Amino acid sequence: MLYNITGNYLCKSFNRQCSEHKTKVEYDRSHDLLSEVLLTPECKAAIGDKCIAAVQELQMKLRTKERYLANYRRNALTMCMQAKTTSPVESMNNITKHGSHAVDSNMNLSKSVQTMTDGADARLGAYENDSIREMGIRNRASHAPTKDDVHRKTQYLMEQNWDRRLRRKYAQVAPNEWLSWSFFEKKKNALDKTC
């Protein structure tokens, strides 16, 4: 029972180093904590010196492969097709064999090449549409300080009116009368009286 608990702890510790720790400080601290735990008298009594030596040896091997295994080094790397797998090749094989433009051994060469190029074109088109959509959202996003406090449509109307303020000029000519004119509109009546 104690071996099972200790084994689970060691396994989770190494898994976290490879998949959860986002900075080098967290990664180094997890190794330091594991080393401290292995040197406690309780751990020595529970699993023995041979097991501790084997775990320390494994820990040193993992430490030397930090650039390949540490999550803080790998988390910026993206896989093809936005796959969350460890192998981009497996992802491409899965798309080629089971995707919407699948290819199998019963197809002749011209048909399989045509299907694969259609699939590549469709994927590139989808990526292009996603990037255009995201660029449109970013370009049209409000930069006003009230954007988080006001409903999105209301913010749009406020910004639209703010942008239109330069197109029309207003002057109050009486307590209830305003004079409005626009230099951009080409009309016969340049001056409009409104209430």
Q: What's the structural domain count of the chain?
A: 2
Please, which pLDDT band fits residue 83 given cuts at 50, 70 and 90? Answer: very low
Choosing from 73, 88, 110, the residue where a domain stops is: 73
* 159 occurs within a structural domain: yes
Determine the structural domain holding residue 178 and report its residue range: 152-194
Q: Per mean pLDDT, which range of 12-16, 53-57, 90-94, 99-103 is the poorest?
A: 90-94
* 109 occurs within a structural domain: no
* 103 occurs within a structural domain: no
* Percentage of residues of the chain with pLDDT beyond 90: 1
Give dist(CA 189, CA 174) in Å, integer. 20
* 164 occurs within a structural domain: yes
* 6 occurs within a structural domain: yes
Structure tokens at 184: 């951009």
Query: What stretches of 20-151 show up as alpha helix (H) in DSSP?
Result: 24-38, 41-64, 66-69, 71-74, 88-98, 109-140
- How many Cα atoms occupy the beta-carbon half-sphere of 9 within 13 Å? 16
